[in-house]
Structure 1
Amino acid sequence: MTDIRVLTADWHKDNAEIRRIRESVFIKEQGVSPEQEWDSDDASATHFLAYEGECAVGTARLLPNGCIGRVSVLRDWRGLNIGEALMQAAISEAERQGLAEQTLTAQTHAAGFYERLGFKIISDEFIEAGIPHIDMLRASG
Structure 2
Amino acid sequence: MTTTSTPTDFTLRPASFIADREALRWVREEVFVAEQHIPPDTEWDSLDPAGDHLLAISSTGAPIGTARLTPDGRFSRLAVLKPWRGRGVGEALLKAMIDKARANGWKDLTLYAQVANEGFYTRHGFVSIGEPFDDVGIPHQFMRLKLRD
- Could you say what secondary structure the match of 2:77 adopts? strand
- Could you say what secondary structure the match of 1:79 adopts? coil
- Could you say what secondary structure the match of 1:17 adopts? helix
Aligned with residue 138 of structure 1, among 126, 133, 145 = 145
1:98-117 to 2 correspondence within 5 Å? 98-117=105-124
Distance 1:2 1:64 in 2: 30
RMSD over aligned CA atoms reads 0.9
Q: Percent identity?
A: 41
Q: Which residue of 1 aligns with 2:29?
A: 23
Q: Which residue of 2 aligns with 1:68?
A: 75
Structure 2's unaligned 5+ residue stretches are 1-6
Calculate the TM-score normalised by the size of structure 1.
Answer: 0.97
- Measure how far apart 1:77 and its partner are: 0.7
Residue 3 of structure 1 pairs with residue 20 of structure 2: no
Equivalenced residues, count: 141
- Measure how far apart 1:132 and its partner are: 0.5
Contact 1:2–1:52 under 8 Å retained in 2: no
**Greater RCO structure (CA 8 Å; 6+ sep):** 1
Distance 1:6 1:88 in 2: 11
Calculate the TM-score normalised by the size of structure 2.
Answer: 0.92
- Measure how far apart 1:2 and its partner are: 2.8
Structure 1's unaligned 5+ residue stretches are none
- Could you say what secondary structure the match of 1:60 adopts? strand
- Measure how far apart 1:39 and its partner are: 0.5
Return structure 1 stretches of 4+ with deviation > 4 angstroms.
Answer: none
Indicate the structure with greater helix content: 1
